Amino acid sequence: MMEALSYMAVVFQEPWLIALVAAGTCAGVYVGAIPGLSGTMAVSLLVSFTFGWETHSALAVMIGVFVGSVFGGSRSAILLNIPGAPAAVATALDGYALAKKGRAGEAMGLATSQSFIGTLLGVLALATCAPLVAGLARNFHSIDYLILSLMGLMMVGSLSGRSVKFGLIAGCIGIFLGCVGVDGQTAVKRFTFDIVYLNSGVDYVVAMIGLFGASEALSQITDMSQAPVKQKVDRILPSWKEAARFLPLTIKSSIIGVLVGALPGAGGDIAALLSYDQAKRSVKKPTAPFGKGAVEGIIAPESANNAAIGGAFIPMLTLGIPGDAVTAVLISALTIQGLRPGPNLIAQTPDLFWLIVASLLLASFFLLVFGLTGIRAFTKIVEIPKGILMPTILILSVIGSFAIRNSVYDIFWMFGFGLIGYFLKRYNYPIAPIVLGCILTKLCEENYRRGVMLEGSVQGMLGSIFTSPISMVLFALLVFLFATQTETYKNWKAKREEKKETKREALG
C-alpha cells in the first residue's frame, strides 16, 4: 500500500504533470462540447503530437483530455439538445427539458457533480478491483455480448416517451441504418443502391448530430415567436439532502458504468443508455416524468459514462485489450513509448499503473473545477435570440459532421437526418431510439455471427447460453426486460400501485 501511495505521490509532487492534466481536462471539456469532435479524435491527435515526450507527461495530458471529453458532451446536450458525444444522448432527453424550464444551470451543475462522483468510483474500481473485473470481462463470450446488445435494444421502450409503437418504428429505422454499407465478412453491399458513398455505411455520430442538432434548429426556426427562456443560475449544485437521496442511484449507475466499460468494445455509450433505462425502471417517484426534466435522467447516464472510463482502463492494463475507442488509441501510445499493455504491465511497471490512477484522480477534480466555473457563462447560450442561435447551431452541426471523416457527403447526410428528425418530431415520433439502433446494430450483428461460427449452428449458439453462469444471468435479465415491456405487465403494475394507494388512504 505504501509503495502504491509513493508512486501516486509522484504525480502530485510534479507541477508539470499537474499542469498537463489540468490543461488536458480543460481542453477535453470544450472538445467534447462541440458535436463531432470526440475524445477519440483529440487523443489520436495527441499521440502524434506527444511522440517525443516523456511517457508520464504524454499519458497525463491524454488522460486529462479523455476524462474532460466524456463529460463535455453533456454541455451541448443540455443547452442545445445536441449531444456532444454518443455517451450524452441519454442526458439530452431530460437535460434539455430542464433547460427549457429555465433550469439549465441546475442541470449542468448536476451533470458536473455526477460526472465527478462517477469518475471517482471508476478510479476506485480500477485501483482496487482491476484483476477481479478483468477476469469477469475475460469470461464474456460472443453470446454474452449478443444478449447485452439485445438488452440495449430493449431500451426502446424507455426512450419512446408515451408511445412504445412509435418507439419501435424509430428503433427499426435505426437498425436499418446500422445495416447500410458493405458487409465486413461477405463484402456484399447492403442497401447501398449503387451509391459509392454508402459503401462505408452511415456514421451514427452524423446521424446523431442531424437528428438532434439540425432537427432542433429547424423546429425552432419554424416557430420564431417563442422567446428564449430566462435561465435561473442561483442554484447550481444539489443540496446535501438531495445528494444523499440520489446517492444510491449514483452508485448503482456507476457500477453499471464500470462493468460495461470493462467489456471490450462496449464503452460509455452503452453504459449511459443502460443506466438510464435502469433508472427509469427502478425510480418509483422521479422529480418529474422521465423525458420531461427528471433529474434522475441526468444522474444515471452522467455517473455511468464517466465511471466507464475507469472500467475501460481495466482490460487495457490487465489484458492488453481496449475497453473502448480511446483506450485503443492509448494502447498504441504506450506501444510507441516502448511499453506493452497486458498481464505483465502492472507487475513490471507498477509506477506506470499508479501514475494512470493518480492522473485519473486529478482529472476528476479538475473536471469539477472547470465544470462548475463555466456554468454561468454557458447558460447565457440558451438566452441568445433564436435568429442568432439557430444558424449558429446549424454551422456547428456542419463543422462537426465534416470533422468526423473529412467528408462533404457527411454534411449532406447530416441535413438529411435533420429533415427526418424534424418531421418525426412533428408527428411525435421519438428520435433517440434511432441513434440507439445505429449504435447497437453492429455489436449485435458481429457477435451473432461470431457465436454461430464458434458453435457451428444457431441451435448450438442458443444452447451455449445454458452452459455459462454469466450467460444464464444475462438471459434471465433479457427475459425480464422483455416481460416488463408488455402491456400485461404494465397493467398489472398499475393495478398493484392503485391497490397500494387505496390501502394507504384507508389506513390514513
3-state SS of 223-248? Answer: CCCCCCCCCCCCCCCCCHHHHHHHHH
Q: What percent of the chain has pLDDT over 70?
A: 87
267 conformational bin, left if phi > 0, alpha if psi -120 to 50, beta if neither? left
Is residue 288 a contact partner of residue 96, using CB atoms and an 8 Å limit? no
Grid cell digits, residue 294: 427528471
Average pLDDT over residues 374-384: 69
Q: Which residue has the cell 434539455?
A: 96
pLDDT at 414: 86
Instruction: Please classify residue 261 by burial: count the beta carbons closer than 10 Å to its beta carbon, then call 0-12 exposed, 13-18 middle and 19+ buried.
Output: buried
Is residue 426 a contact partner of residue 121, using CB atoms and an 8 Å limit? no
CA 468/CA 144 separation, integer angstroms: 9
Grid cell digits, residue 327: 483506450
Average pLDDT over residues 378-403: 75
* Arithmetic mean of pLDDT over the chain: 79
pLDDT digits (tens, 9 = 90+) for 269-298: 788 888 888 888 788 788 888 888 888 888
State the angle between helix axes of 89-100 and 104-138 in degrees (0 to 180), rounded to the nearest 10. Answer: 170
Q: Which amino acid is at 142?
A: S
The highest-confidence range among 261-265, 276-280, 349-353, by mean pLDDT, is: 276-280
Helix%, strand%, coil% for the chain, nearest 5: 75, 0, 25
Least confident of 161-165, 476-480, 490-494: 161-165
pLDDT at 508: 59
Q: Is the pLDDT of residue 441 over 70?
A: yes
C-alpha atoms less than 13 angstroms from C-alpha of 306 in its C-beta half-sphere: 40
Q: Which residue has the cell 418507439?
A: 167
In 301-431, the DSSP E strands lie at: none
Note the pTM of the prediction, 2 decimals.
0.77
| Sign of the four-CA dihedral 147, 148, 150, 154 | positive
Average pLDDT over residues 56-84: 84
pLDDT at 27: 86
Q: Is the pLDDT of residue 231 over 70?
A: no
CB atoms within 10 A of CB 1: 5
Grid cell digits, residue 197: 458513398
Closest-CA residue to 282 (of 264, 255, 263) = 255
